[in-house]
């Protein structure tokens, strides 16, 4: 059994997708980052950087519980645990990790900042930061589209953890102002992935967590 301490966001959804794809047994424990649950000592003990997602694999290496945070590390751990979605050969493996790290180190932070400033675009002084991060996000979309022009998936011919990492961050691409005709290879890839049953299920998990949190807030009169 894998205990998942997580929320509704893109980094959370990467892990739900992988757990659904692999069929591992898991249960989700909401960590409501809008209420600062991520700063509670129990959570910090497994995620010292106060970020979701984190997991505890009750049947970790050697049969003992194993705690892990950082979504990229979790995806690699679950891939190694199940022998799925990360090739074993050194070249195939490192190529998938290359695109996973591209998401972790570049696409995720850039899209995150672009989204942050987009949602504050009507506040004074936001224009330069919004222009900077939007330009960066567009560049990264071109990188993804170029890669997917030559390959069915980011890591090559097969769907892997690199796709699971990038996909949730692109889910609202139209709202971010990207147009399908500008990124046709990306759009083909996105349409294939969004129909995968595991991806549909993971969307439901995130949506249900959000709904419960909203209901709890309304119940508390907030």
Ligand X SMILES: N[C@@H](CCC(=O)N[C@@H](CS)C(=O)NCC(=O)O)C(=O)O
Q: Give the interface with ligand X as residue ranges (CB under 6 A).
A: 9, 11, 33, 38, 50-53, 70-72, 104
Helix (H, G, I), strand (E, B) or coil at 156: strand
Task: Return the beta strands (E) in 101-174 as ranges.
Answer: none
| Residue with Cβ nearer ligand X (38 or 202) | 38
Closest approach of Cβ 73 to ligand X, in Å? Answer: 8
| Residue with Cβ nearer ligand X (162 or 183) | 162
Question: In this structure, are residues 156 and 95 in contact, taking their beta carbons and an 8 Å threshold?
Answer: yes
| Residue with Cβ nearer ligand X (3 or 188) | 3
| Residue with Cβ nearer ligand X (5 or 190) | 5
Closest approach of Cβ 3 to ligand X, in Å? Answer: 16
Question: In this structure, are residues 185 and 35 in contact, taking their beta carbons and an 8 Å threshold?
Answer: no
Closest approach of Cβ 53 to ligand X, in Å? Answer: 6
| Residue with Cβ nearer ligand X (9 or 134) | 9
Question: In this structure, are residues 186 and 145 in contact, taking their beta carbons and an 8 Å threshold?
Answer: yes
Closest approach of Cβ 179 to ligand X, in Å? Answer: 26
For the chain, the residue count is 222
How many beta carbons lie within 10 A of that of residue 182, not counting itself?
Answer: 12
Question: In this structure, are residues 82 and 19 in contact, taking their beta carbons and an 8 Å threshold?
Answer: no
| Residue with Cβ nearer ligand X (108 or 155) | 108
Closest approach of Cβ 100 to ligand X, in Å? Answer: 10
Helix (H, G, I), strand (E, B) or coil at 103: helix
Closest approach of Cβ 149 to ligand X, in Å? Answer: 27
Task: Return the beta strands (E) in 52-157 as ranges.
Answer: 54-57, 66-69
CA 93 to each of CA 61, 81, 119: distance values in angstroms, whole numbers, following the listed order: 21, 15, 37
**Distance from C-alpha of 72 to C-alpha of 74, rounded to nearest angstrom:** 5
């Amino acid at each position: 059994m894998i205990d998942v301490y997580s929320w509704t966001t893109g980094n959370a959804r990467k892990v739900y997708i992988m757990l659904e794809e692999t069929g591992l047994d898991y249960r989700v424990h909401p960590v409501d980052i809008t209420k600062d649950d991520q700063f509670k000592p129990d959570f910090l003990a497994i995620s010292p950087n106060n970020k979701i997602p984190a997991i505890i694999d009750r049947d970790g290496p050697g049969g003992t519980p194993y705690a892990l945070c950082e979504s990229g590390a979790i995806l690699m751990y679950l891939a190694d645990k199940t022998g799925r979605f990360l090739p074993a050969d050194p070249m195939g493996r490192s190529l998938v990790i290359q695109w996973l790290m591209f998401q972790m180190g570049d696409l995720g932070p850039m899209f995150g900042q672009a989204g942050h400033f987009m949602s504050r675009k009507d506040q004074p002084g936001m224009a330069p930061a919004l222009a900077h991060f939007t330009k960066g996000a567009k560049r990264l979309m071109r990188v993804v589209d170029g890669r997917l022009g030559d390959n069915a998936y980011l890591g090559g011919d097969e769907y892997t953890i690199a796709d699971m990492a990038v996909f949730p961050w692109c889910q609202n691409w139209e709202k971010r102002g990207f147009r399908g005709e500008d990124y046709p290879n990306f759009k083909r890839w996105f349409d294939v992935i969004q129909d995968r049953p595991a991806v549909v299920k993971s969307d439901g998990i995130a949506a249900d967590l959000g709904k419960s949190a909203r209901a709890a807030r309304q119940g508390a009169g907030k």
